[in-house]
Amino acid sequence: ETGVTQSPTHLIKTRGQQVTLRCSSQSGHNTVSWYQQALGQGPQFIFQYYREEENGRGNFPPRFSGLQFPNYSSELNVNALELDDSALYLCASSLGGVGYTEAFFGQGTRLTVV
Amino acid sequence: SQQGEEDPQALSIQEGENATMNCSYKTSINNLQWYRQNSGRGLVHLILIRSNEREKHSGRLRVTLDTSKKSSSLLITASRAADTASYFCATGGGADGLTFGKGTHLIIQP
């Protein structure tokens, strides 16, 4: 149990729709990052938020956007869903930039786009 | 793109045996981390080894790092059925996020 919770656990959406995934960080952590994991692959970095500001982004199009709130919870929004967006979405919280210290991952949201 | 590459892609051993998996990466690093993932769920942090360290232990885990060869290994001793999982190495961090390999899928046979 890492203290990082994600909701929902599973989601089915239709191509073209929009989706919002939520993450509640571990208490005291000021940094949250989001990852996309396709089946059989390792997680791919989407973006990172530090104190409510995006401070890093991977190779994902602008239709992937996010928010971090004052209580350090976070959202990942994906617009105009495509079939290839079907994946496990993971959030990770840490104190400071992930990679410098241990990152705590949630259990993920399994998104299926049909 | 994925910087780290784990080897082998899959490993099946008997309970009680040792399991060794390797990770190679491409660019210089400040540290390298190993994570475990059970059945497509969240990742669990196992160990972080800094670039100036050569070996680190945590319980039944032993990690080595060879920065000259840009490689790391994870050894799990006296394996248990509960060790069945996928294992990932990860490099990078900060504003660039973590870069993961494709993982080694470890199966412990009872």
CB contact under 8 A, B102 and A41: yes
User: What's the pLDDT score for residue B80?
Assistant: 97
pLDDT in tens, chain B (110 residues): 445 688 899 999 999 999 999 999 998 888 999 999 998 788 999 999 999 999 999 999 999 999 999 999 999 999 999 999 999 999 987 788 899 989 999 999 99
Which chain A residue lies closest to B38 (C-alpha atoms)?
A107
Give me the DSSP letters along chain A: --S-EEE-SEEEE-TT--EEEEEEPPTT--EEEEEEE-TTS--EEEEEEETTEEEEE-S--TTEEEEE-TTS-EEEEE-S--GGG-EEEEEEEESSSBTTB--EE---EEEEE-
> pLDDT tens-digit profile of A77-110?
999 999 999 999 999 998 866 566 788 999 999 9
Nearest-by-Cβ selection for B45 from A33, A42, A102 = A102
Residue A98 has what pLDDT? 58
> Collapsing DSSP states into helix, strand and coil, what is residue B93?
coil
Chain B CB within 8 Å of residue A69 CB: no
The partner residue sitting opposite A56, judged by closest CB among B91, B95, B102, is B95
Inspect the interface and report whether the beta carbons of B95 and A55 lie closer than 8 Å.
yes
pLDDT at B1: 43
